[in-house]
Chain A
Amino acid sequence: MGEAKFELNDVTLKRPGRNAAGEVTTVIILNRITTSFLKGKITAVLGPSGSGKSSLLRLLNRLEDPAAGRITLDGQDLKSLNIFTLRQRVGMVWQLPTLFPGTVLENISYGPRLRGISLSRARAEELILMVGLGTELLDRRADSLSIGQQQRVSLARTLANEPEVLLLDEPTSALDPTAAANILHLMVDLKSRLGLTIIFVTHILDQARQVADEVLFLHHGEIVEAAPAQQFFTAPQEPRSRLFLSGELEG
């Protein structure tokens, strides 16, 4: 076992929602989650849609707070950390690129500028090359890029903050297979080159097989199984894991 980057202790997330009868009520999204994410590893968070995967990520950079339980980063309670510092340390990329109006360079400079740092052109070029794009794109308008390119710029924008952790929420789902494969390579590359801890939500088993060191498998807001990827894919311990791996588990 490696060192834990994040530790979750009995974490429950609730949100306003509607029940089967359509009445407004409180819905339990994550129920008493206790687990940890290892430093410098890629953890794939797996599960059918609606299992709470994305919600789990949102707790780690405090886009939402749990109703109960405790989350620590390097042993420190998230609530004791400055929220802006926390979000700089824990970067996030979504399914769909969410670039701001303006040029690619302006997008990449956004995070550092919030801290009063002016990103150098050389550093911006380094970042855009790191995500596999050409430096000539820096002065293009962000909305003139393809979705695949925009997704890489989103990643470069997050990396400009020099995070320790990357949260990726189905980062390839809007991409064609080639672009998706490139993002996966990039994840492995970032892990080994920068030592990033990567937590990666996906519903595509093959992607997890290719890149994950660890697997956390969720179903209906609860942990079914947390295991090294190798073990999870070859010898799953739980009946629901086996059903999921054979494609028979309903959401």
Chain B
Amino acid sequence: MQYINIGYGDLVLALILVGITLAVSLWQRLDLHGDLFVGTLRTFVQLTAVGYLLQVIFNLNRWYLVVLALGIMLLVAAANAYRRQQERWPGLFFIMLLAIALGGIITLAIVIGIVLKVKPWYQPQYIIPIAGMIVGNAMIGAALAINRLTGEIKAHRGEIEAALSLGATAYLAVLPYLRSALRAAMLPTISTMMTVGIVQLPGMMSGQIIAGASPAAAVRYQVVVTYMVAAATALTTIMATLLAYRYYFTPNHQLKPPAQNNKT
């Protein structure tokens, strides 16, 4: 089997696909052609830029460049998870950063060091795409979990104060809502684990197959990746919620009054 390379000329041909999208938008008057134009351009520019950057990292093959790339990934992910919150407060960004970093690095260490046994560990070919998948999923999980936690605390002030007034600690009073926030964040990952391979072929596995890997080998990678995404989501969300809930309480196990100045 031969791997077919896509040249820039072939990319121009791929604009046929954009033409189809454009036609649908115009025909049904979706008024999306402006966004479509910008989106088409951004896809090309952003991915090309990342491609060149990765090429540089791959060519130089230095551990500190890989660490720098991971650091940037984590900062962007934390900022994104923070920006998606309905209620933001000082310190939440750092909680996001800490949770995504710890959850991500622990999972990454297990995959790179124990499962794949990559030597040296910083080989960009492995660590960069795997870290990207881990951090991306951890970010989505953290954003979902904290949004849910905020909403639950707002909706259940009565029950939380009832538990406190019966002598519960802040942690015990908020525990049912921590659990539902964690469940909400983990459910999409678990649902994916149920249907993967039946409903959809994951992008990474498809990519490996196109690149010439045998389906059996690609599948084994995908299995590891799926387990890894679940672990990263679980670790990150539990850390994020355990760190974040404290903000809503005083050290004397009192639920703080509702925020007055938070606008989205």
Contacts and interface: CB of A to CB of B under 8 A. Distances in A.
Interface in B231-264: 250, 252-255, 257, 260-261
Nearest to B258: A16
A195 B169 CA distance: 28
B17 interface: no
Q: From DSSP, what is the main secondary structure of chain A's interface residues?
A: mixed
B167 A62 contact: no
Contact of A98 (B162, B167, B168, B257): B162
Contact of B254 (A64, A98, A115, A157): A64
A43 interface: no
Contacts of B225: none
Interface string B156-172: 00110111111111001
Interface residues of B, number: 21
Interface string A30-41: 000000000000
Contacts of A122: none
Given A98-B162, A114-B168, A157-B166, A18 B176 contact: no
Nearest to A86: B167
Q: Which 5 A-B pairs have the closest CB atoms?
A: A98-B162, A111-B166, A98-B158, A92-B165, A84-B167
Given A16-B261, A96-B158, A110-B168, 11 more contacts: A17-B260, A24-B261, A61-B165, A63-B164, A91-B165, A94-B158, A98-B158, A100-B159, A100-B162, A110-B163, A114-B168
28 contacts: A16-B261, A17-B260, A18-B260, A24-B260, A24-B261, A62-B252, A63-B161, A63-B254, A63-B255, A64-B257, A65-B250, A65-B254, A83-B253, A87-B166, A88-B166, A91-B165, A91-B166, A92-B165, A94-B161, A96-B158, A101-B176, A110-B168, A111-B166, A111-B167, A114-B166, A114-B172, A157-B166, A161-B166
